[in-house]
Amino acid sequence: MDWSKMLSKQVTDMPRSGIREFFDLATGSKDIISLGVGEPDFVTPWNIREAAIRSLERGHTTYTSNYGLESLRRAISTYVQGFFHVEYDPLCEILPTVGVSEAIDLALRCLLNPGDEVLYHEPCYVSYAPTVMMAYGIPRAVETSIDDLFALNPAKLEAAITPRTKVLMLNFPTNPTGSIAPRKTLEEIAAICIKHDLFVLTDEIYSELRYDEEEHTSIASLPGMKERTLLLHGFSKAFAMTGLRLGYACGPKELIEQMMKVHSYTMICPTITSQEAGIEALENGVDAMLEMRESYHKRRDYIVGRFNDMGMDCHLPGGAFYTFPSIQRFGISSKEFALRLLMEHKVAAVPGTAFGACGEGYLRCCYATAQNLLEQACDKMARFCESLK
Ligand code: PLP
């Protein structure tokens, strides 16, 4: 078979995820401490697992409506109103999806025509540019830097807008930097979106995991923004439910209806098991979530302190469970640093360049790892940094 003719050029031209590429190197190696994968080290809280078990015991093994269970949509609506202060109609403005991942894909497919440009702030989650390309859009990164604590600079955003720009993707708290956008910055970004008639996809999957004083603000809650914003959220991170694959999109009914159409032809619905577990998470899982957040908070403080002591300059990230220390003073690239750290000291972290070119000089370290392993990883990293001086 001539695979060069058989396979889609659009897909074969797409680079592999920098994270996957890096972790393939670690496959098979023993005794590695991983600060690599962006996944809670907690098991899903027991009451949520029990809800999934109960669902199966009752024989709930069918499809649900393409819109998902109405009881789930009602629980999402109540939760979102309480947490984000935005009201969504559970009957037509909310769509449960297979993770935030599916919601991103659906939204881009329903918004973009070929050649439409999508802006997003970089370093960013690895799927943004590829999903834009799969929807025949043109991804345009707006670089962020430590000078703005990796939050999107409104002036840089406005300078990047062209007549083809249609969508802005936001992700605060941010993967991989843990950065947050203060309300004032979001207000400036919102004014730019209104002025230039942009639609906003805001991926707020880490919104509960904030450790600063300010309450989380969703851009969807700012005046004039609900009608031009799709709020994406899910259960993977805050409720430690990555494997249950459940997320949701909240936004204008015109867009939700089109997304539901694509969803009905592709995924049909998230499993009924995870939908029933999701209801339990929203209604009775918040205390467990807050306990996990407290634990991440302590680990963040520990790891940032250790990094700064060993000469990796590290800002205090306001949210998520990532640190983004600088390795610039060691005079080697992010990739070489991460590779040698892995091979010589058996600690896996991700080169900043996996999240965009402006991640050069940085490393992403996920601290959703047990405290004793974090301590061992930091000891090993300190020895490595010492050896590079
Ligand atoms: N968005 C961001 C910013 C992420 O970091 C991730 C996972 O790491 C996702 C979306 C995917 O989330 P889900 O598990 O809900 O598909």
* 290-344: pLDDT as tens digits: 999 999 999 999 999 999 999 999 999 999 999 999 999 999 999 999 999 999 9
Both tokens of 344, joined, read 């010589």
pLDDT tens sequence across 149-198? 999 999 999 999 999 999 999 999 999 999 999 999 999 999 999 999 99
Calculate ∠ Cα 250-167-17, nearest 5°: 90
Atom of ligand 1 nearest to the CA of 124: 3
| Residue closest by Cα to atom 8 of ligand 1 | 38
Q: How far is the CA of 381 from the centre of ligand 1 (A)?
A: 27
* Residue 365 parent element (H or E): strand 363-366
pLDDT tens sequence across 76-131? 999 999 999 999 999 999 999 999 999 999 999 999 999 999 999 999 999 999 99
Q: How far is the CA of 100 from the centre of ligand 1 (A)?
A: 6
3-state SS class at 165: strand
DSSP 180-221: ---HHHHHHHHHHHHHTT-EEEEE-TTTT-B-SSSPP--GGG
pTM of the model: 0.96
Q: Which of 102, 126, 131, 205 to mutate to test the pocket of ligand 1 (most atoms within 8 A of CB)?
A: 205
3-state SS class at 252: coil
Residues with CB under 6 A from ligand 1: 38, 99-101, 125, 171, 175, 203, 205, 234, 236, 242, 247
Both tokens of 118, joined, read 């999508």
Q: What are phi and psi of 362, to 5 degrees?
A: -135, 165
Which residue carries 């939204």 as its tokens? 107
Q: How far is the CA of 387 from the centre of ligand 1 (A)?
A: 35
| Mean pLDDT within 34-50 | 95
DSSP 88-107: --TTTSEEEESHHHHHHHHH
Cβ atoms of 244 and 97 within 8 Å: the answer is no
User: Checking DSSP bridges between strand 117-122 and strand 165-170, what pairing results, if any?
Assistant: parallel
